Amino acid sequence: LEVSVGQISEQNQASLDESYNFLRDCRIIDAPGDVLRKDGEAQEYITKAALGEMLRPGGASGELTVQDREGELRVVLGDASFRRTMEGLELIKDFRPDENGEVLIKAGTRLSSADLVRIASLPPQPMLVRDTNVLDESEDAAWFAADVEKDGRVVIPMDAIVDSLAIKTLSANNISEIKLWKNPEHINLTDSMHHVLIEHYFGKPLTQAINSEGEVIENITHGIDGSIVRGIVEGSISGIESEGNIITREKVIRQVLTERALGKVLLETIRDKKGNTVAEAGQEITSKVLDSIASSGADDITVRPKQAPSDHKQLIQRVSFVRRLREEPQWSPVVHGVTKAALATDSFLSAASFQQTAQVLAASAVRGDVDNLVGLKENVIIGLLIPAGTGIERYRKVVIAESSESSLPGMEEAIIQKD
């Protein structure tokens, strides 16, 4: 344990030195918690002690935002968090171990877990990535809240939808940030018509009804019921008369649009059944535009308020990481009683044979322990040779070789002379 603690301490010191040298000249923009505050005031530059406190096991989580000579840099605390955060993002610039080294990962690569393991094994350095997750989530579901410009030229206009063509344009021009409208309103005209008819006209007396061909419908009910409401919504009934009022399908649509869309900005181009454009995206819905939408037969529209809130989305960013310090093992001496002493053995078979059999075997199975069968009890249990006396492995492998004994010189002559 003491050797392990010494090794971990040396590794932590080297890791802290590496992280501090990487960040020492960076100005702090944002940091988690109050670690970088001194006497209630935020520090402009990080100190080694503050960085060590931040990177210690169980320390602050999240990320640092700093400013270096090239601009703003996002620094993720911990290489494990860095790998989780960066997986799936697109690398914009070739990644090299050092300035003059060979390309380790090429630009345009979507970073995999294996790529990030290779990056995290090297000293920290800034890298340029594109957050493709933002674009994937926004495709065909969000609209631009500001013109997207490149070198003073508008490449995507405001109120355009984020479609596949817009995503390709953003990638081709390396657009670093965009603004998207927050919570645009989708109005389903069919559902809204049903709601208006039920709320304002259901149950009222019905004088007559006209079908889609302009003919009077015979044998109708004397009140506006569900079948009449369904016919108007589906278009099989073009209009009805009730209490001297003529109620047409277009009139109901106008009522819906007046209540929910008048004065707002249209986010999708509206076309009639022939494919002709009746209302352009990005224009305010006035009474004239409202009439055009009502007569177009559109099933739904998407709008936003004039002063709608927007979300700022960062697409391209410079990122890096600093390593967390490893936790040193903690221990304390423990005196076992005689019943527990039998459990303090390397052999789980020997320990299980004494007491707490189920617990010992279950814990060993979970840990994946291996019993090397080097002791006496475990070999008795299994039925192997007992490792004692001639049963010890090194004794069982002793090879005895016979050797011829030569007679002592002059022995035979001495015997003959004596005889």
Q: Where are the domains of the chain?
A: 2-131+316-322, 134-181, 185-310, 338-396
| CATH architecture label of 338-396 | Orthogonal Bundle (1.10)
Tell me if 70 sits within 8 A of 319, measured CB to CB: no
Tell me if 66 sits within 8 A of 26, measured CB to CB: yes
Helix (H) or strand (E) holding 263: none
3-class SS of residue 323:
coil
Measure the CA–CA gap between 7 and 132, rounded to whole angstroms. 40
Measure the CA–CA gap between 278 and 297, rounded to whole angstroms. 11
3-class SS of residue 156:
strand
Calculate the average pLDDT of the chain.
85
More confident residue, 83 or 397: 83
Residue 332 has what pLDDT? 81
Residue 330 has pLDDT above 50, yes or no: yes
Which tokens is 42 given?
Answer: 């935020």
Helix (H) or strand (E) holding 393: helix 393-396
- Percent of the chain at pLDDT > 90 equals 32
Q: Report the pLDDT averaged over residues 312-320.
A: 92
Measure the CA–CA gap between 75 and 62, rounded to whole angstroms. 9
Residue 248 has what pLDDT? 87
Which tokens is 304 given?
Answer: 């936003």
What number of H helices and E strands is found in the chain? 16, 20
Q: What pLDDT, in 10s, does the model give residues 45-63?
A: 888 988 888 898 887 788 8
Residue 19 has pLDDT above 90, yes or no: yes
Residue 186 has pLDDT above 60, yes or no: yes
Kindly report the backbone phi and psi dihedral angles of residue 290, in degrees, each rounded to the nearest multiple of 5, phi listed first. -60, -45
Which tokens is 263 given?
Answer: 């004065």
Residue type for 265, please? V
> 98-102, 130-134, 375-379, 401-405 — which one is most confidently predicted on average?
130-134
Residue 5 has what pLDDT? 87
Residue 341 has what pLDDT? 66
Residue 143 has what pLDDT? 92
Query: Could you tell me which residues come within 8 angstroms of residue 235 by beta carbon, excluding any fewer than 6 positions away?
Result: 212, 249
Residue 189 has what pLDDT? 87
Q: What pLDDT, in 10s, does the model give residues 233-274?
A: 888 888 888 888 888 888 888 989 998 899 999 998 888 888
Residue type for 165, please? L
Q: Report the pLDDT averaged over residues 322-343.
A: 78
More confident residue, 117 or 295: 117
Residue 359 has pLDDT above 70, yes or no: yes
Confidence class for position 305, pLDDT limits 50, 70, 90: very high
User: How many angstroms separate the Cα of 90 from the Cα of each of 68, 93, 132, 155, 261?
Assistant: 22, 9, 7, 22, 39
Residue 118 has pLDDT above 80, yes or no: yes
Residue 1 has what pLDDT? 79
Confidence class for position 127, pLDDT limits 50, 70, 90: very high
3-class SS of residue 175:
coil
Contacts 24+ apart (CB under 8 A), 255-258: 255/196, 255/200, 256/187, 256/189, 256/192, 256/193, 256/196, 257/187, 257/189, 257/285, 257/290, 257/293, 257/294, 258/290
DSSP states along 45-96: B--HHHHHHHHSTT---SEEEEEETTEEEEEEESHHHHHHHHTTPEE-S-B-
pTM value is 0.63
As a residue count, the chain comes to 419
Q: What pLDDT, in 10s, does the model give residues 84-106?
A: 999 999 999 999 988 777 899 99
